[in-house]
């Protein structure tokens, strides 16, 4: 089945495609379906933003649609950057600038207080308009330096629980098994499996 992921972020889309691999779903993005569609993220929670992305794209296309909003929550910074993750520092800042700023803000924070988590919230809308919300969390801590070359965003400063390397050092195969995105989209896949067989049973 074709399913639209309402994102312009190609790193995110590639991760979702890898998580969906072998499940007979073709994941399309806004870049392929309606490249001009810009969605303003003005919600106050990840769920509100995920829902807005999904609803806006669904209204345009009528397709099975996924909206995803995600970010990094750092305990020592009272949950920042949180829903501001993509806009932290400045709207047009680079990933390196954002990572440097966080490391600077945390320069005096000791190891045991460097706890953080990535959160991913997904809103799925099916052609009849029914909608469901899914969430995935990956606990970890903030490194002291920028490390690794894989992934995107805050991957070079995030060490997932149970590991000593950052997501950007661990690489995509490990990340796609344990990440917030992997956890949320695995729930989506499980739901789709049940939902599609019940819809097929009705026809
Ligand atoms: P769309 O809104 O078009 O989907 P976006 O990049 O603006 O793309 P978000 O609003 O969900 O996406 O912002 C998520 C930001 O959080 C993202 O830009 C990264 O800075 C950070 N982030 C989310 N997931 C991440 C991950 O797996 N690894 C590193 N950083 C991540």
Q: Is the CB of 156 under 6 A from ligand 1?
A: no
Q: Is the CB of 7 under 6 A from ligand 1?
A: yes
CA distance 78 to 96: 21
Active site residue 92: no
Exposed, middle or buried: residue 148 (CB in 10 Å: 0-12, 13-18, 19+)? middle
pLDDT of residue 200: 76
> What residues does 67 pair with on adjacent strands?
123
pLDDT in tens, 65-105: 999 999 999 999 999 999 999 999 999 999 999 999 999 99
pLDDT of residue 201: 72
Q: Is the CB of 140 under 6 A from ligand 1?
A: no
Helix axes 10-20, 180-202, angle to 10 degrees: 60
pLDDT of residue 202: 62
pLDDT of residue 203: 54
| C-alpha of residue 200 to centroid of ligand 1, in Å | 34
CA distance 21 to 76: 37
**Smallest Cα–Cα separation from 148: which of 96, 78, 82, 76?**
96
- C-alpha distances in angstroms, 67 versus 30, 52, 82, 155, 196? 11, 7, 17, 21, 19
| C-alpha of residue 72 to centroid of ligand 1, in Å | 9
Low-confidence ranges of the chain (pLDDT < 70): 202-203
Looking at the chain, which runs of residues are DSSP E strands?
2-5, 26-29, 65-74, 115-125, 131-142, 158-160
pTM for the complete prediction?
A: 0.97
């Amino acid at each position: 089945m074709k399913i639209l992921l309402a994102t312009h972020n190609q790193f995110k889309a590639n991760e979702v495609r890898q998580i969906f691999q072998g499940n007979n779903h073709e994941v399309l993005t806004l870049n392929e379906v309606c490249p001009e569609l810009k969605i303003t993220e003005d919600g106050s929670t990840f769920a509100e933003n995920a829902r807005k992305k999904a609803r806006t794209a669904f209204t345009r296309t009528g397709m099975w649609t996924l909206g995803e909003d995600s970010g990094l929550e750092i305990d020592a910074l009272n949950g920042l950057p949180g829903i501001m993750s993509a806009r932290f520092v400045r709207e047009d800042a680079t990933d390196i600038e954002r990572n440097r700023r966080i490391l600077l803000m945390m320069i005096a924070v000791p190891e045991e207080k460097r706890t953080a988590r990535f959160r991913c919230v997904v809103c799925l809308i099916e052609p009849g308009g029914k909608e469901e919300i899914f969430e995935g969390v990956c606990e970890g801590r903030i490194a002291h330096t920028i490390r690794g070359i894989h992934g995107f965003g805050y991957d070079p400063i995030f060490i997932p629980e149970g590991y000593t390397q950052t997501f950007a050092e661990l690489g995509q195969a490990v990340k796609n098994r344990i990440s917030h995105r992997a956890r949320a989209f695995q729930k989506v896949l499980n739901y789709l499996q049940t939902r599609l067989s019940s819809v097929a049973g009705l026809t």
